[in-house]
Amino acid sequence: MGYSLWNDRIVADGEVVIDKEDRGYQFGDGIYEVVKVYNGQLFTAQEHIDRFYSSAEKIKLTIPYSKDKLHQLLHQLVEANEVGTGHVYFQITRGTTPRNHIFPDATVPAVLTGNTKENPRPIENFEKGVKATFVEDIRWLRCDIKSLNLLGAVLAKQEAHEKGCYEAILHRGEKVTEGSSSNIYGIKDGVLYTHQADNFILNGITRAVILKCAEEIGLPVKEEAFTKVQALEMDELIVSSTTSEVTPIVEVDGTAIGNGQPGEWTRKLQAQFDTKIPQAINA
């Protein structure tokens, strides 16, 4: 047993009570974030908090706490649970009212919850790479919002899992958008390609770190969509997220990417990413 975040308090896990009329439970009417913890320290927390507020604004949900207060609560939660390396999950819903699609009135408070998980970095995936499969992107048209509604993502990830793959590479028609819970990149002739940050993808916080790393190691970036055919012809493919960091994709639906091994640029990006990971404060 550990501690959870419940509105503006850190409480014992068992104390959290969620009503069956919570709009998150009824409609998936809410948003969430996942923040990585390295050596007891939150990584890119401000960026995640900013995106949380931005997702909230896009669905017209008012978060009744300041960004600073939320940051402080997340920090307290990580300390209370003595997280070493893992992540914090938190979400907010539009509150509890008898089921009705129409928003509740402004007096109904949003419900904020959060918890942590100890979770080692997936080092073997970083070293050996993973397999992926193409899945048609049937999600809605506001993938820029980190919505609790994840059915499209869940179905795609399950399909990938059943095929023995780590991730589903989603595509709308011929164009690759992103992964079911990640962003996707291709490297061809020394240029890194990734879908532009529009309504068809979630603008990953890890994506921003990777684009910065690319700049720092002299790898030019083109934020534009590539096709499924182009994906298979890339020299290197990468999947990224808060928990996947920079993971090489070495095979898609049985086709080897490049020589079937993680590529040189991927190795350089991983090394550059590693330089940004917070070390233990008293190390």
Q: Any contact of residue 133 with ligand DCS (CB under 6 A)?
A: no
115 is an interface residue for ligand DCS by CB under 6 A: no
Minimum separation from the CB atom of position 103 to ligand DCS (A):
25
Stretch near ligand DCS under the rule CB under 6 A, chosen from 160-168, 215-223, 237-245, 270-278: 237-245
Q: Verify binding: residue 238, ligand DCS, rule CB under 6 A.
A: no
Bridge-based pairing of strands 245-252 and 9-12 is: unpaired
Residue 168 binds ligand DCS (CB under 6 A):
no
- Measured from the Cβ of residue 78, the count of other Cβ atoms closer than 10 Å reads 23
Tell me: does residue 245 bind ligand DCS (CB under 6 A).
Answer: no
CA distance 96 to 68: 25
Question: What are the structure tokens assigned to 245, written together?
Answer: 């960091």
Q: How are beta strands 130-136 and 167-172 bridged, if at all?
A: parallel
**Which of 117, 146, 212, 228 is flagged as catalytic?**
146
Query: Which one of 96, 183, 194, 272 is in contact with ligand DCS (CB under 6 A)?
Result: 183
User: Sign of dihedral through CA atoms 224, 222, 149, 174?
Assistant: positive
One residue of 205, 214, 231, 250 binding ligand DCS per CB under 6 A: 205
CA–CA separation, 139 and 151 (whole Å): 8
Closer to ligand DCS by Cβ: residue 144 or 233: 144
The backbone torsions φ and ψ at residue 77, rounded to the nearest 5 degrees and listed phi first, read -65, -45
Q: Tell me which residue of 251, 249, 245, 248 sits closest to 273, measured CA to CA.
A: 245
Question: Closest separation between CB of residue 136 and ligand DCS, Å?
Answer: 15
Nearer to ligand DCS, 77 or 258 (CB): 77
146 an active-site residue?
yes
Count of residues near ligand DCS by CB under 6 A: 15
- For the annotated catalytic residues, the residue numbers are 146
